[in-house]
Amino acid sequence: MKEVKIVSKRFDIEGINHIKKAIEHGAYSTIHKMFDKDPKTIVDEIDKSGLRGKGGGGAPTGAKWKLMLQDFKLPKVLVINCDENEPGTFKDRQIISKDPHLLIEGIILTSYAIGANDVYIYIRGEYHQWQNILQKACDEAYLQGYLGKNILGSKYRVDITICKGAGAYICGEKSALLESLEGKRGHPRLKPHQKEPEWYFGRPTLVNNVETIATVPFIVENGADAYKEYGTSKSPGSMLFAMSGHINNPGVYEAEFGTSMMEYIEYYGGGIKGGNLKGVIPGGASTPILNATEVAKAKLDYESIKELGSSLGTGGMIVMNDSVNMVEALKNLLEFYHHESCGQCTPCREGTAWVDEIVESMLRYSASYNSIEQLLQIGQTMNGKTICVFAPAVSGVIDGFVKKFRSEFEEYLRGVCNE
């Protein structure tokens, strides 16, 4: 299998999270050349590369950056989404712990390209250890002149502030994240009718995921065509995929888009642990599950996974062997969604509670004969009728489990325990 090292190229170097070691191995090399470039040429290169957002949606990064090039009267802001609360996803913390200066280099390049001076990193509240690592790296970058006023003798300024969340899953949604940054309750905002940037205290704002920004130095250093040498025509480049569950070598491994999912699991994960493959949640807990037959066909790119009725999401693969009770697995996920719904929209607030209760009644053998249909109908009612994609994601998760493993749900309705 072809190994790719774009974001993870320095992960295995001991002491790389210290700036002197990082500089020895090429960190910040692009910053010395940055001021020779017109900011717009950097935006154009990112757009040409086909870089897609790696925080879940996979939207074209260049298109978002171009929205920031308008002639705004107010100062621009860059916000880094490090609210990594998606179950099954742990790649952002890998970047921070293994190569924090790569992220900071990407932040400086991005800020220069869009004309921002103030950067906010919104980090998951439970990530205390990684916040400390990142803060230390930022302090080192300030001392070396890569952050602050007059970067490397220029007139350009970049300041980074790390903001700690309070553990709300919904704040991974970019507009809820910005509401939280503004000191408000983390409720998603209504989407505008036209294309425009996000807004932080009325200032035009770009929100990007950690891995997306950490990919920028490679593209600036090597060019868009070098990035497009990897991946597929529609999903160029690579991604850090995280594996957990019934796998012999759980962890985070980089692969180019278009790689066979099964080949990835075998090569990096060392195969299925403790049984045969039953299913894989491909992109974090909010993406519909794939059964073993679908996994054999799947490729790790946005289009392939979409054709199978799921989503690549954050690339967090949760692997399940044939010992897993799928009714119990769904209950585990629905408890999470029930707890994490922000409560702003009635279909989500009430729906997540209702579906959680129905599956619980199945496990207690007290469900009604039509509970499966009720579950699917409630999921349908939740889909497309809320401000953000939280409820539609729950609907997709329910559909995936029930439709692909329906016999296990039916056994509980017959009072037969599948143990």
Each residue's pLDDT tens digit, 217-268: 999 999 999 999 999 999 999 999 999 999 999 999 999 999 999 999 999 9
- pLDDT score recorded for residue 416: 45
Mean pLDDT of 306-319: 96
pLDDT band at residue 414, thresholds of 50, 70 and 90? Answer: confident
pLDDT at 284 over 70: yes
CA distance 349 to 332: 17
Please, which residues bridge with residue 260 across strands?
A: 299
CA distance 17 to 9: 13
- pLDDT score recorded for residue 316: 96
CA distance 86 to 34: 34
pLDDT at 351 over 90: yes
Please, which residues bridge with residue 82 across strands?
A: 123
CA distance 314 to 281: 11
- Identity of the amino acid at 120: Y
CA distance 265 to 283: 14
pLDDT at 393 over 50: yes
pLDDT band at residue 391, thresholds of 50, 70 and 90? Answer: very high
- pLDDT score recorded for residue 2: 84
- Identity of the amino acid at 361: S
Give the dihedral sign, CA 131/140/162/219. Answer: negative
pLDDT band at residue 39, thresholds of 50, 70 and 90? Answer: very high
- pLDDT score recorded for residue 419: 42
pLDDT band at residue 415, thresholds of 50, 70 and 90? Answer: low
CA distance 206 to 199: 8
pLDDT tens digits for range 75-124: 999 999 999 999 999 999 999 999 999 999 999 999 999 999 999 999 99
CA distance 274 to 255: 25
Domains contained in the chain, CATH given = 19-228 (3.40.50.11540), 241-321 (3.10.20.600), 326-413 (1.20.1440.230)
- pLDDT score recorded for residue 193: 84
Average model confidence (pLDDT) for the chain?
96
pLDDT at 417 over 80: no
CA distance 102 to 211: 10
Mean pLDDT of 330-350: 97
pLDDT above 90: percentage of residues in the chain: 95
Burial of 417 (0-12, 13-18, 19+ CB in 10 A): exposed
Tokens of 77: 């802001």
CA angle 393, 408, 385 (to 5 degrees): 20
pLDDT at 72 over 80: yes
Tokens of 314: 């954050």
Burial 50-70 (b: 16+ CB within 10 A, else e): bbbbbbbebeebbebbbebbe
